Each structure stands twice: as C-alpha cells, then as structure tokens.
Structure 1
Amino acid sequence: MDMGGEQAVGEVVRLVYRVTPDDIADALRARDRKTPAGRRRQRGYVGCAAGLLLLAVLTALGREGVRPISFGLVAGAATLGAFALYGPRLQARAFGGMLEKVGEVLTVVDDSGVLATTADTQTRIGWSAQPAYAETDRAFVMLSADKQAVGMTCLPKRGAQDPADIDRLRAVLDRNLKRL
C-alpha cells in the first residue's frame, strides 16, 4: 500500500473505525496514568481538593468555636475532585461534534509508521513523532515525547478486522515504540 510516497514496510495491520468520545476519554486516562505529567496533574487535583477540605474543617473549628463551613471552600474541593475523576470524560465530550464529521477512519500501521485516512484527510505519523505507547483494554494510545504528551493517537482495538490483528499490531508497536 502506498504510504504517502513510501511503500509499506514489513507486516501491515489495517484498522477501520469511527473515533468516539469514549475512545478519546480512554486515551486521555491512559495518558494521565502513564506519563509523569499526567500523574502530577492528577495528584495536584486530589491534593488541592484535600487541602481545600482541610482548610474548610480548620475554618469551621476556629478559636471562637464551631463556625459554618465556607461553602466556597467545599465547592472548590468538590469541583477539583470531580475533575480528577471525570476530567477526561468532560474533555472528550468537547470533541463530540468534530468526531461525527470525521466519519470512518482507515488506519494502516506498519514498520514505517501510521497512516490514518478519512474522507477528507490523510495523516502520516512517523514513529519519532510519537515514540511511546500505552495499551488499554480498548485501545493502543501512541504518545508524543513532549513533557505533557500533547500529541496522541488512539488506535481502537475494535477496528481490527480479525482478533489476530490486535496481536500483530502490538508486535509492530513493540518493535518501533517504547511501551509505557
């Protein structure tokens, strides 16, 4: 298969799928679990929420006796806690309309990289652009090497034409990327 002027190299795996908000949320959760920046961000949300709750309790148990707890402190803690738990889901929902317009994606993965084709676009991703990947129950998530792992590509397993393609895809990724 032609890969933007290059011939496909070695084993070729084809995936056909529509990207969903669930795919994006899964990829964001994987990034948060597998990258140092993601783990710091999650710990920050939880730590700040705990700090606000502690401050609310200390305020309520001040020197003058029990006082009403500051609603603002509790609301802030609840908001941060909810974002720690549901942040990826909320972020993924923002992509909903755009994902519908993308439609079906044909992705071809081989030892030269990834080629994703939709009705309107064709994107070639070399291994050096996203040199690491994480695997979830539902997808393989390729991640860029920048500090925040901003660049990512979600390859949903349901796009495999044959269950053996998932093992073949994992083998191609293992040969070319660092598994997180």
Structure 2
Amino acid sequence: MVMDMGRDAVQETVELDYRPTARDFSSALWARRKVTWAVRHLVGAVAVGALTYALLASDGDIDLPTLLLLCYFALGLVLLPRLQGRGMMRAADVNGPCRTTVTDAGVTIRGEHITVTQGWGARPVYRETPELFVLFSDDEKARCLTLLPKHGLTDPSDADRLRAILDRHIRRV
C-alpha cells in the first residue's frame, strides 16, 4: 500500500510585480502601530500629557512650552510614518522593480541587485490593509517587515489566493 504524504501536491503560487512606493511603506508603518505595544505606550503617554495639560489649563495656568511640546509629539505621531516611509522607499529604490513569489514554502523577493528568500518562520505574523499585506517579525517591536502590495497583483482574485496562503502558514493580527 502506497500512501501519498502530500509530496506530489501542487504548490499554490502567487506572483507580484511592483515598484515599492512611499505610500506602501507608510501604510506598512501604520499597520505596524497596531501590531506593537511600543507605539501604544507612546500614544498613551501623549494622551496622558494632553489630559494633564487640559487639567492645568482649566485652572488658568497655561504653560506655553508644555503646550508646544505636546503639539510637537502629537504632530510627530501623525507625520512620522509618512516621513519614515519616504526614507525607506529611497533605500529600497536602489533595488528597482520587485518580482515577489509567494508559495507554500515562503516568500522570495527578486530585485535588480538582490534576491531574498524567507521561510514562514522569519515573518510569522501578518496584517492586511486596503493597500497591502504586511508580514512582520515576531519580536515585540516587529522590527522587520515584508511588504506585499496589492497593486503588484495581476488579477484582483490573486488577493484571495494570497490571503489563503498566508492564513495557512502564519497568524493574522
């Protein structure tokens, strides 16, 4: 008796052709904020600072430097992903257009000057946004990420196939 242990199974493949944009990276950084605790602590600190300032201002004691500092941090929370996204895009632009292949074995990204192959253990967590799928490392700050932009898919139904592959191998957050 011969048993098929899945060795002859056909692997599903999804391919993406794209050139990363600053918007892709900014969207990935926004998605990262929802995955990590570090940013939540920063947002909480700004909220506590704003509440403290509001309580002080209600007594008529308005401190202009404190107000400016709170505005600076609040503005930074909003603008930082966009600014970081532009910087990341400039660094990634050296590799030119990307061709990414996602299979049951993992993700392979090919650029003009680099080829990177990642098994599922390298990025065991993902989050989907309207623009892309973002794969994250499993450390508490999600320091490493991999972008799979939806504008790189040749057919809209490929998004469902890609989601199915990701759901089989890694955890959605």
Deviation of the 1:49 alpha carbon:
4.2
Match of residue 118 from structure 1: 111
**Separation in 2 of the partners of 1:44 and 1:12?**
44
The amino acid that maps onto 2:70 is A
| Structure-to-structure mapping, 1:58-73, within 5 angstroms | 61-62=60-61, 69-73=62-66
**Separation in 2 of the partners of 1:127 and 1:15?**
18
Q: Which runs of 4+ in 1 moved over 4 A?
A: none
Q: 1:18 to 1:49 in 2, by over 3 A?
A: farther
TM-score (normalised: structure 1): 0.83
Q: 1:56 to 1:82 in 2, by over 3 A?
A: farther
Deviation of the 1:27 alpha carbon:
0.4
The structure that is strand-richer by fraction is 1
**SS of aligned partner of 2:143:** coil
| Structure-to-structure mapping, 1:10-21, within 5 angstroms | 10-21=11-22
The amino acid that maps onto 2:161 is R
**Higher mean C-alpha displacement, 79-88 vs 159-168:** 79-88
CA contact (8 A) 2:106 2:117 kept: yes
**Higher mean C-alpha displacement, 168-177 vs 39-48:** 39-48
**Separation in 1 of the partners of 2:51 and 2:81?**
20
The amino acid that maps onto 2:60 is L
Match of residue 128 from structure 1: 121
**Separation in 1 of the partners of 2:153 and 2:77?**
32
Query: Gapped runs of 5+ residues in structure 2?
Result: 1-9
Please state if 1:171 is matched with 2:171: no
Which of 142, 152, 156 lines up with 1:149 in the alignment?
Answer: 142
**SS of aligned partner of 1:94:** helix
CA contact (8 A) 2:35 2:142 kept: no
Q: 1:88 to 1:47 in 2, by over 3 A?
A: farther
Deviation of the 1:130 alpha carbon:
0.9
Residues 94-151 of structure 1: per-residue CA shift (max 9 Å, x gap):
2242233221000000111100010000111111111010000000000111010101
Q: 1:130 to 1:72 in 2, by over 3 A?
A: same
